[in-house]
A and B are shown apart, each in its own frame.
Chain A
Amino acid sequence: MSTETIVDSAAADSERTRPTPVLEVTDLTVTFRGFNNNPDVKAVRGVSYAVHRGEVLGIVGESGSGKSVSSMAAMGLLPDHAEITGSVRLHGEELLGKSDREMARKRGKVISMVFQDPLSGLTPVYTVGDQLAEAVMVHNPKGGKAKARARAVELLELVGIPNPAERYRSFPHEFSGGMRQRVMIAMAMANDPDVIICDEPTTALDVTIQAQILDLLRTAQRETGAAIVMITHDLGVVAGFVDRLLVMYAGRPVEIGSVDEIYYSSRMPYTMGLLGAVPRMDLEDQGALVPIKGNPPSLSALPPGCPFAPRCPLAQPECDDSEPDLLPVGSAVRTEDGRTRVRDDGEQRVACIRSGEIDANRWTAQDIYPVPEIPEAEAASARREDLPEVLRVRDLIKHHPLMKGSVFKRRVGTVYAVDGIDFDIREGETLALVGESGCGKSSTLMEVMGLEKPERGSIEVMGREVGSLSRSERFSLRRDMQIVFQDPMSSLDPRMTVFDIIAEPLRTHRVGAQAVTERVYELLRLVGLNTEHATRFPAEFSGGQRQRIGIARALALEPKLLVLDEPVSALDVSIQAGVVNLLEELQAKLGLAYLFVAHDLSVVRHIADRVAVMYLGKVVEIGATKAIYEHPSHPYTQALLSAIPVPDPERERSRTHIVLEGDLPSPANPPSGCSFRTRCQKFITLQESDQEQCMSAEPRILPTNGDDQASACHFAERQAGLV
């Protein structure tokens, strides 16, 4: 905590010894009035927190928990029809009730914000430099354009944009996502604000870019000395970054405390469940994840008592009586007039009537949540080489023609999306394809699922070469391989009932009506849904349930191979855990092989037997999960693993991250020799003659440890202790 004193404008506040917080939110509520008889949505219901100079406060919560809305309210960015009560004080000055003109003078000057999606956050028709200069100009109109421009260039340099003077004139679409987020951060820093609110600043970015951005935010904080409010759903990101943490659920804070208190001695069942639900990359054998049953409540129809009670393993009848206040641990006594005005005074506080009990018994997530038993697959005992091959890909390539412009179309080159990859999957095994977006993971999947003759190389499914299949053979082979898509919201036809969705593959493959009905009900039970769900439409289900429907559809034809395209990346942590557990359970029960595409390396470690790391259309390292995570040998794998924050504050503080420079090169114009050399942390440490080799010769993928770990690096070296 900062010890610097700030001129206390509200000096009357003598009860506290600490200086006035830079930003203090007290009892904030936000309600969106429903139009046309729709119920009101109570997005935020009594949030209080305080951030001091130089402090980083994390706000975590799942989607719909009100974490973004509460900060938008503080910024005065909510639409007019939002009803806001409570108080937001900036240096002791009340912000709520100020006019838009008055707020505009504060925004970007004293309090600024970095948003989640950098791709849509910049106006497409102005240059990034002009937009940055505008942020300077608007608070200092007399400073002149030339000065604002110079400051913008300086800011671009500060956030690590190469050739800032030249890039000033670039348009947003000419920047990658990571670079656009840098511009957004530059904008937030432009006027040396006292508070920077970061709303999921790294969620839309790849892990390597995430590491860069987190680094940059630390720099920004050092440069400006600002207080930071870090909003995120990722418990890994906040562990090493924040000082204190506020956990939100259904529009209310349910726990607040220092980061160590929350991670190591949480006294709120929701927080405990959330921590238990996160797959851990740093633990070898984590066991089944802790799923929190059910779904978050609707914010327009909340239960009367504790909103978490319906999902809580410790719920008692008293929990439904009234909502617990955010009180210091153990003090479950209620004040006489019902509600107390809760202030954030730095102490750990919990909104749970059983927090004292949890504290006394030192319960952990594993103690209070029922952890599902996942049966061991029988194939696990057999040697890998003896198992039959389900999928074998040899030297596969996929090149797309590159067209440019939307009005003026013309071909300007070739995108080397998949550029010669080999891998195989055996029965009952999970192979994960990992890598940054644009590395060719999805293109590989589409090639495999297409069952067409590839441009070069071969794909064998169940030992059969797909290029030589006839139409009817191809059709029947599709029974053996099915896909689950990333976005459960858009991959189910909204006009079909669940029954029809699951029955469709069966009907397509001419299964009798009676058998279809039986199979659909069997599948619903298998994926953990009720049979009465069959007549409903996808819109009536939550994300996790929809993904279960997608899995049931994929399983309908009893495939041997399931292709999973980022199946959990669109889901909240607590829901994700349930789906991951389901996938593991199904694999053990049905002996399925999975081809799992993911960018989340923590989930991959949890679920995969083998991992293939892709970079620019090539596999750079492949091998057993344990070997890869414990002894990665390719510099890219090492960097990837090191970039991922671990949800363990102490461990995270002691780790040093390898932060890769720059972005993924364009797959239309890959570097010569080793395609990774432009960003390689090892390349710069090599001697000139060795560098020559990296630049001229493309490394072949060779075994590195006698077992089946192989890596495509001239100077591969197995390294331990990166995670």
Chain B
Amino acid sequence: MGKFLARRLLNYVVLIFLATSFAYLLAATNLQPRVYFEQMQPPPPPEVVNSQLDTLNLNDQTPLAQRYATWISGVVTGDFGKNIQGGEVSGQMWMKAGVTLRLITVATILGSALGIAIGAYAAVRQYRAFDKAATGASFFVLSIPTVVIAIVIQVLAVAVNDGLGFTFLKYVGEYSAGFQGNWWETLVNRIHHAILPTLVLALALFAAFARYQRNMMLDVLGSDFVRTAMAKGLTRRRALFKHALRTALIPTITYFTFTFGALVSGATFTEKIYGWHGMGAWLIDSIARQDVHVVAAVSWFMAVTIMAASFLSDIIYAWLDPRVRV
């Protein structure tokens, strides 16, 4: 098992290297940092532009291979180069990652827990009122794009605030601008801001998880081992909880890790709409700014999160399901 995991890990490292390199090459050939400088007001002289580009390792007159070599040798030491304004990419990246992780950790846990609970119960009550309501709700949410959900909730929040006459729900930013206070007040302020975007993400996740868990649960509901558990003297509820749900959770947990990995870059719309400066928002902005190094760095980070999720799901799967252990 250890040997296997080590081999797999090595595989992932190679994949991450390839993904990041391709992302860099794609960004370096298609984005035009020169244009970014040339469009400044007033337009700087060409020599200044060139020297600026040279210091940032973004000059399209330098051969691509040479630019790539410079960049990759920096990446190996943990230096992702400079963004187009001259700031350090690495430092910024960890800050943005922190924002995104804060947002999605709570949202995925909340959304999936809710989805699993509702999906599993809906399966037990198949075709009854609860199942029909849960199915209707999840399909309703699934059929609306996240953008629309995010905006609708924002609009509703505004209406609620207007109705109450004070800002009950915050819908812009990660914290109030210029907020000063002790750590406790800061925390409350941040949580207050996090409620709505978390809700948006959790809502979309809940719908997917509810459907998924319902199907998984239906597969095991009629299985012989649940009947055996009842024949031993367990009540139906206990047999379902301890034997059916535990078995039906295995594929869902794998799904969960992947969702988490994908959401690092998948929360873009929510971040943008609610003014959170996370990974996804950063990527969109940097493409608009022709910022090659940031695009490459975000791609690297996404590759790492996806691979980590996949690695984690392998381990969790083996831990949960004795049948795949070696």
Residues of A within 8 A of B (CB): 35, 75, 77, 100-101, 104-109, 112-113, 115, 117, 120-127, 131, 134-135, 138-139, 171, 173, 184, 187-188, 190-191, 404-408, 410
Residues of B within 8 A of A (CB): 1, 4, 127, 223-225, 227-238, 243, 246-247, 250, 314, 317-318, 320-326
A-B contact pairs, 21 of them (CB 8 A): A35-B127, A101-B235, A104-B233, A108-B232, A115-B227, A121-B224, A121-B228, A122-B225, A123-B243, A124-B323, A125-B246, A125-B322, A126-B243, A187-B228, A188-B231, A191-B233, A405-B326, A407-B324, A408-B1, A408-B318, A408-B324
Is there an interface contact between A408 and B235, defined as CB atoms closer than 8 Å? no
Chain B nearest Cβ from A347, distance in angstroms: 32
Q: Return the chain B residue nearest A106 by Cβ.
A: B233
Is there an interface contact between A407 and B314, defined as CB atoms closer than 8 Å? yes
Taking A100-B236, A123-B228, A404-B326 as given, write out 20 further A-B residue pairs in contact, using a Cβ cutoff of 8 Å, ordered by the A residue number: A75-B231, A77-B231, A100-B237, A104-B233, A104-B234, A106-B233, A107-B232, A115-B224, A121-B225, A121-B227, A122-B225, A123-B247, A124-B247, A124-B321, A126-B243, A134-B234, A171-B323, A187-B231, A408-B4, A408-B318
How long is the Cα–Cα vector from A407 to B323 in the complex, in angstroms? 10
Q: Return the chain B residue nearest A134 by Cβ.
A: B232
Is there an interface contact between B223 and A120, defined as CB atoms closer than 8 Å? yes
Is there an interface contact between B225 and A113, defined as CB atoms closer than 8 Å? no
Our pick among B233, B238, B324 for the contact of A405 (Cβ within 8 Å) is B324
Q: Return the chain A residue nearest B227 by Cβ.
A: A77
Q: Return the chain B residue nearest A132 by Cβ.
A: B232
Chain A nearest Cβ from B248, distance in angstroms: 10
Our pick among B229, B243, B324 for the contact of A406 (Cβ within 8 Å) is B324
Is there an interface contact between B233 and A107, defined as CB atoms closer than 8 Å? yes
Chain B residues with Cβ below 8 Å from A127 are 322
Interface centre among A101, A123, A171, by most chain B C-beta atoms within 10 angstroms, is: A123
How long is the Cα–Cα vector from A100 to B317 in the complex, in angstroms? 34
How long is the Cα–Cα vector from A134 to B241 in the complex, in angstroms? 14
Chain B nearest Cβ from A170, distance in angstroms: 9
Q: Is the interface of A mostly helix, strand, loop or mixed?
A: loop
Chain B nearest Cβ from A408, distance in angstroms: 5
Is there an interface contact between A135 and B233, defined as CB atoms closer than 8 Å? yes
Chain B nearest Cβ from A228, distance in angstroms: 15
Chain B residues with Cβ below 8 Å from A188 are 231
Q: Return the chain A residue nearest B221 by Cβ.
A: A79
Chain B residues with Cβ below 8 Å from A101 are 235
Chain B residues with Cβ below 8 Å from A35 are 127
Chain A residues with Cβ below 8 Å from B317 are 407
Given contacts A407-B317, A407-B324, contact A124 B225 (CB under 8 A): yes
Is there an interface contact between A125 and B231, defined as CB atoms closer than 8 Å? no
Chain A residues with Cβ below 8 Å from B324 are 405-408
Is there an interface contact between B323 and A138, defined as CB atoms closer than 8 Å? no
Chain B residues with Cβ below 8 Å from A75 are 231
How long is the Cα–Cα vector from A131 to B228 in the complex, in angstroms? 10
Is there an interface contact between A105 and B233, defined as CB atoms closer than 8 Å? yes
Given contacts A120-B224, A120-B225, A123-B225, contact A406 B326 (CB under 8 A): no
Is there an interface contact between B228 and A115, defined as CB atoms closer than 8 Å? yes
Is there an interface contact between B231 and A107, defined as CB atoms closer than 8 Å? yes
Chain A residues with Cβ below 8 Å from B4 are 408, 410
Q: Return the chain B residue nearest A117 by Cβ.
A: B224
How long is the Cα–Cα vector from A191 to B223 in the complex, in angstroms? 24
Q: Return the chain B residue nearest A405 by Cβ.
A: B326
Is there an interface contact between A124 and B233, defined as CB atoms closer than 8 Å? no
Q: Return the chain A residue nearest B226 by Cβ.
A: A123
Q: Return the chain B residue nearest A109 by Cβ.
A: B233
Chain A nearest Cβ from B246, distance in angstroms: 6
Is there an interface contact between B230 and A77, defined as CB atoms closer than 8 Å? yes
Q: Return the chain A residue nearest B314 by Cβ.
A: A407
How long is the Cα–Cα vector from A31 to B323 in the complex, in angstroms? 38
Is there an interface contact between A122 and B228, defined as CB atoms closer than 8 Å? yes
How long is the Cα–Cα vector from A147 to B273 in the complex, in angstroms? 60
Chain A residues with Cβ below 8 Å from B247 are 123-125
Given contacts A123-B243, A124-B247, A124-B321, contact A139 B223 (CB under 8 A): no
Chain B residues with Cβ below 8 Å from A105 are 233
Chain B nearest Cβ from A306, distance in angstroms: 33
Is there an interface contact between A108 and B231, defined as CB atoms closer than 8 Å? yes
Chain A residues with Cβ below 8 Å from B235 are 100-101, 104
Is there an interface contact between B250 and A125, defined as CB atoms closer than 8 Å? yes
Chain A residues with Cβ below 8 Å from B250 are 125
Chain A residues with Cβ below 8 Å from B236 are 100, 104
How long is the Cα–Cα vector from A17 to B23 in the complex, in angstroms? 90
Chain A nearest Cβ from B252, distance in angstroms: 13
Chain B nearest Cβ from A666, distance in angstroms: 16
A-B CB proximity, top 4 nearest:
A108-B233, A135-B232, A171-B322, A120-B224
Given contacts A124-B225, A171-B323, contact A138 B232 (CB under 8 A): yes
How long is the Cα–Cα vector from A184 to B229 in the complex, in angstroms? 11
How long is the Cα–Cα vector from A104 to B234 in the complex, in angstroms? 6
Q: Return the chain B residue nearest A139 by Cβ.
A: B233
How long is the Cα–Cα vector from A131 to B227 in the complex, in angstroms? 13
Chain A residues with Cβ below 8 Å from B320 are 125
Q: Return the chain B residue nearest A136 by Cβ.
A: B232
How long is the Cα–Cα vector from A108 to B243 in the complex, in angstroms? 16
How long is the Cα–Cα vector from A105 to B233 in the complex, in angstroms? 6
Interface centre among B227, B228, B325, by most chain A C-beta atoms within 10 angstroms, is: B228
Q: Return the chain B residue nearest A103 by Cβ.
A: B235
How long is the Cα–Cα vector from A113 to B224 in the complex, in angstroms? 12
How long is the Cα–Cα vector from A131 to B324 in the complex, in angstroms? 20
Chain B nearest Cβ from A402, distance in angstroms: 13
Q: Return the chain B residue nearest A191 by Cβ.
A: B233
How long is the Cα–Cα vector from A504 to B95 in the complex, in angstroms? 67
Chain B nearest Cβ from A132, distance in angstroms: 9
Chain A nearest Cβ from B73, distance in angstroms: 36
Chain B residues with Cβ below 8 Å from A404 are 326
Is there an interface contact between B322 and A184, defined as CB atoms closer than 8 Å? no
Chain A nearest Cβ from B228, distance in angstroms: 5
How long is the Cα–Cα vector from A2 to B262 in the complex, in angstroms? 68
How long is the Cα–Cα vector from A108 to B228 in the complex, in angstroms? 10
Chain A residues with Cβ below 8 Å from B238 are 104
Chain B nearest Cβ from A686, distance in angstroms: 39
How long is the Cα–Cα vector from A408 to B224 in the complex, in angstroms? 27
How long is the Cα–Cα vector from A447 to B321 in the complex, in angstroms? 35
Q: Return the chain B residue nearest A404 by Cβ.
A: B326
Chain A residues with Cβ below 8 Å from B225 are 120-124
Our pick among B229, B231, B237, B323 for the contact of A173 (Cβ within 8 Å) is B323
Q: Return the chain B residue nearest A183 by Cβ.
A: B228
How long is the Cα–Cα vector from A135 to B233 in the complex, in angstroms? 7
How long is the Cα–Cα vector from A112 to B323 in the complex, in angstroms? 28
How long is the Cα–Cα vector from A190 to B246 in the complex, in angstroms? 24
Interface centre among A104, A127, A184, A190, by most chain B C-beta atoms within 10 angstroms, is: A104
Chain B residues with Cβ below 8 Å from A100 are 235-237
Chain A nearest Cβ from B316, distance in angstroms: 11
